[in-house]
Structure 1
């Protein structure tokens, strides 16, 4: 008996893998969109704080680094 897979078995396996990859990518996109929204909310909050005169240089630098890090990771 041969260990080689038939073309049909290989296609079924590839189709299953593609479905799994697409599902994983959809989850990643949802997480990315959620994190991007959170970053935008924080940026809006920071602008409000700046407008109110309640900003701190240290807090701003931390936030900027955090946002930069998230964007660097593509999240």
Structure 2
């Protein structure tokens, strides 16, 4: 099995490249990602997102609806 850091590195590099020139700045992205990680870490949220009755669009709406901060289009697409 691949190391977690090996799997995560390309995603981290892509995220940094995407936000480097963003007007929101790295700090606001960091705060948003931290909040998203907290929401994703909740057992009930993970269960709801794995519900086979939901399509991907519904999962996205459910998840972003639980995040208090505004989830921009750029963040949604990432």
Q: TM-score, normalised by structure 1?
A: 0.33
* Structure showing greater Rg: 1
* Structure with more helix by fraction: 1
Q: TM-score, normalised by structure 2?
A: 0.32
